Chain A
């Protein structure tokens, strides 16, 4: 089991859809949660793509006289030890945090998809081997695999990305393999076999597209998780280093002043939480829509 498998299964219990329709909810309608998550996502993406639009100031501009300022109208989230505006820095940090999260998710999904598809298509012996391999990887729970990777390749943003990607890959691989096996035994594949289509054609035309369609859901759910994990590594001093405006690094820098300036660590963390919640909500809603489509 991995975080993703839980998130996924919790939102997709059989009968969930029936219940929703029975209670008169139109599947296609935008719910309040979806609207809020969408708006939040738009805000966060704007911050990542065009930070100056939301926070016109310079994230590196120091103002020693205004150091350790509590949140106020001129500095919404307060200021840090050199008087830099935290709001500007948090907005600016969205880009780095998102890039790290996206890159890690792509690595994890890519590896997971390869492993899952290989296990599901190349016969029982390969499936057995891959499954044992995944079992071994699952015995390094959570951050442990990432820490082992960092031990070997040293700390830094680059190895944090690969480390998070690697440690999420087994979860993806198992979900994708399970999906592939479910698709393989479904009626339309049987129909295609009866029609006399070749195995390769069935695989590329019927099985793979249906197996890989949920990747969008997995990716959305996964980005939130990857950002949290990468921030945890940065927080522990093994990922992005403090001068960078990455959220985990900012939190780590604020830790020193926790007794006097709580806002230095509170707001970067708040944005990590918002991003993760937003990713979960969006992933669930995409999943629900795909199921009803």
Chain B
């Protein structure tokens, strides 16, 4: 809650720093030869003629009641606009998160306990995957699957086929990051005493891996899910633009390009809210799965 208030404050004062008159921006930007009467009318409509402190307080009040203001460019309320776009992005992000987890799990379980070569191949794949920028991966996938083979649509259609490429684009780099974390913790888990005792009790290699070690290995990666969600949202800006998919990311980019301040603020607030919720949820999830407090090697709590 406190973070949310701070986010609102930061965005409010950041927006005040924008050079130029907001009333002019509403009426079509500088050079649109607006009459003084029209400017005054717009100022009154958007409350821009009041002192900054009053504007700040009234914006906070409106935010608290869920009112995100009105778009400068689209002439519609930001709240409904943002919520209508939220669904598409959420589906994309959740599917990508699931696929990324699957890839990371497969890669991690395959490459551990198979000697150095497998470990190095796994780690190499992960580093490359983590370094792949969304915009390049997306264009390359489009060229291969849409232009050359023609099996998948290059722009996102509403059916499931249109989701495949965007989801893969988002999932592969994320899988690189998750895989790195998972494989390291899996290796450590497999070397710890409880694995030895499970083996001594007569469990098979596979049983040990799936029943004991993987639980420990998954924990650090679970605690990363908050971060992963945030990075997916930021990746969605690029992916939705490339695949012409309606969603929060594309709305945000369009709004930044035409300087539609209320929409940008609205999207940022929603993303911040979602991010905070996600962080709280992952915190709870990791506490439920493991009674010990989780410490990453950097000492930072995730």
> CB within 8 Å of B: which residues of A?
1-3, 5-10, 12-16, 19, 23, 33, 132-133, 135-136, 138-144, 147-153, 155, 174-175, 178-179, 181-182, 224, 228, 231-232, 235-238, 248, 251, 254-255, 258-259, 262, 265-266, 269-270, 272-273, 276-277, 280-281
Contacts and interface: CB of A to CB of B under 8 A. Distances in A.
B103 interface: no
A270 B261 CA distance: 35
A62 to B, nearest CB: 24
A97 B299 CA distance: 33
B300 A7 contact: no
Contacts of B231: 3, 141-142
Contact of A281 (B127, B241, B271): B127
A152 B18 contact: yes
A150 B256 contact: yes
Given A141-B227, A272-B133, A1 B264 contact: no
Contacts of B227: 1-2, 6, 141
A251 B139 contact: yes
Contact of B256 (A238, A266, A277): A238
A242 to B, nearest CB: 14
A148 B255 CA distance: 10
A5 B132 CA distance: 18
Given A13-B297, A140-B7, A237-B257, A1 B135 contact: no
Q: Is the interface of B mostly helix, strand, loop or mixed?
A: helix
A87 to B, nearest CB: 17
A155 to B, nearest CB: 8
Interface in B268-299: 268, 271-272, 275-276, 296-299
Interface of B: 2-4, 6-7, 10-11, 14-15, 17-18, 116, 120, 124, 127-128, 130-136, 139-140, 142-143, 147, 177, 180-181, 184-185, 187-188, 191, 224, 226-227, 229-231, 233-235, 237-238, 241-242, 252-253, 255-257, 259, 261, 264, 268, 271-272, 275-276, 296-300, 302
A265 B140 CA distance: 8
Contacts of A179: 298
A139 B15 CA distance: 17
Contacts of B237: 143, 147, 236
A254 B264 CA distance: 28
B140 A178 contact: no
A232 B297 contact: no
Contacts of A228: 131, 133
Contacts of B17: 152-153
A1 B300 contact: yes
A228 B136 CA distance: 10
Query: 6 closest Cβ contacts across the A-B interface?
Result: A141-B230, A142-B234, A269-B136, A276-B131, A10-B180, A1-B227
Contacts of B226: 1
B255 to A, nearest CB: 8
Contact of B142 (A6, A232, A258): A258
9 contacts: A132-B6, A147-B252, A151-B256, A151-B264, A152-B18, A178-B300, A237-B257, A265-B136, A273-B133
Contacts of B235: 142
Contacts of B238: 143, 232, 235-236
Contact of A9 (B128, B142, B298): B298
Given A15-B191, A141-B231, A277 B127 contact: yes
A33 B135 CA distance: 26
Contacts of A6: 177, 180-181, 224, 227
A23 B187 CA distance: 14
Contacts of B234: 141-144
Nearest to A174: B300
A101 B230 CA distance: 22
Nearest to B116: A23
B297 A12 contact: yes
B136 A141 contact: no
B302 A266 contact: no
A136 B256 contact: no
A148 B3 contact: no
Nearest to A31: B120
Given A8-B298, A147-B256, A258 B128 contact: no
Given A151-B255, A175-B300, A236-B241, 9 more contacts: A1-B226, A2-B227, A9-B296, A138-B275, A141-B227, A152-B14, A236-B135, A258-B139, A273-B131
Most buried by B among A143, A269, A276: A143
B264 A147 contact: yes
B171 to A, nearest CB: 16
Contacts of A13: 184-185, 187-188, 297
Nearest to A284: B127
A277 B271 contact: no
A261 B271 CA distance: 36
A213 to B, nearest CB: 15
B272 A139 contact: yes
B135 A139 contact: no
B256 A14 contact: no
